[in-house]
Amino acid sequence: MKTDLTPELAATIEEAFAKRDRANMGPTIAFFEKLLTEHPDNPHVLYEVGGSYDTAGEEEKAVGYYERALPGLTGETRRKCLLQYGSTLRNLGRFDESLAVFKDACAEYPDSDSLRVFKSLTLHAAGKNDKALATLLLVIADKVDSAEIKRYEAAIRGNADYLANLS
């Protein structure tokens, strides 16, 4: 069983992804399900099937595909899958699992701003509003390159630290 991403498979996935209609994911799901029969257990195809179900609002189905895909993924595709998996767990109300995914993902990809932003959404959904805001403040301090933000960077970081350490 081939589980790598050949240039041909990558092109097929990219073409299908470009054609998707977020308002009608049925054809995209059908396409990726068929592609999975041609490439059984390919982590890249599993990820795309999961993402298609996720976009269609079928999070319960998406979770299993993400879980099957993750062990075989690396690099940017793994980072995206972890983000989508953690976000899907949040949408299902599985906050502790989502936070665990984001904690590990942020450790694995410490420069990923999107992981930190989606982690903050899970923190907020879990009722950890202070930690959610602290996470976003750090993204702002790290990434917003404006004279105003830079002027108050120490204060922003200080407030983030304070909020992160509340209860």
Per-residue pLDDT of 2-32, as tens digits, reads 568 889 999 999 999 888 899 999 999 999 9
Mean pLDDT is lowest, of 16-25, 56-65, 72-81, for: 16-25
End-to-end CA distance of the chain: 50
**Angle value at C-alpha 98, between 48 and 103, nearest 5 degrees:** 105
pLDDT, tens digit (0-9, with 9 covering 90-100), for 35-53: 999 999 999 999 999 999 9
- Report, as an integer, the average pLDDT of 144-159: 96
pLDDT for position 4: 83
pLDDT tens by residue, 108-134? 999 999 999 999 999 999 999 999 999
Instruction: Let me know: does 164 contact 139? Beta carbons within 8 Å.
Output: no
Residue 1: per-residue pLDDT: 47
* pLDDT, tens digit, 9 for 90 and up, residues 77-108: 999 999 999 999 999 999 999 999 999 999 99
How far is residue 60's CA from residue 74's CA, in Å, rounded to a whole number? 23
